[in-house]
Amino acid sequence: MKNKVTPAPVIDEKLKLVNKPNGKGLTRIVKATQCSFRGFAAAWQHESAFRQELIMALVLLPFSFVIASSTLHLLMLISCLLFVLFAEIVNSAIEALADAITLENNVLIGRAKDMGSSAVFIALTLLTLVWLEAIWRYVTLHI
């Protein structure tokens, strides 16, 4: 006796899974870019932490040009800002996926959410260390 696989119920027509081709060449790049911009818009709309961190990055970005001691130093300062945004988007994606599966307490889902939060913490710690070093260097050279 063969087991029949039953399809998952569709909650909303917009959420219906579709086997969509990714395309090739330039079409694939355009589609991927559109998906990326939808992801940024969703993060901005639904995640207050992303909004706060993006505003922080936009405020700090001009200062990175002032306090950087070299081009490589500037790239490191900017990379740390981008890494925080990256970590927050991945964390938000994990949380959204977990919440789509169930809102009930689940040990594994809780662990996944905590690990995503840890990734953001690591990114913020790296940002803090790199920026404090840059500020210290700038202050000691200009006093």
Just list the catalytic residues.
88
| CA atoms 85, 90, 95, 97: torsion sign | positive
Q: Kindly report the CA angle at 28 between 26 and 32, in degrees rounded to 5?
A: 120
Burial of 21 from C-beta contacts in 10 A (0-12 / 13-18 / 19+): exposed
Q: Where are the alpha helices (DSSP H) in 8-70?
A: 25-46, 48-67
Are the CB atoms for 32 and 20 separated by under 8 Å? no
Report how far residue 27's alpha carbon sits from residue 34's, in angstroms, rounded to the nearest whole number: 11
Taking the mean position of all CA atoms in its chain, how far away is CA 74? 21
| Residue given tokens 């500020």 in the structure block | 135
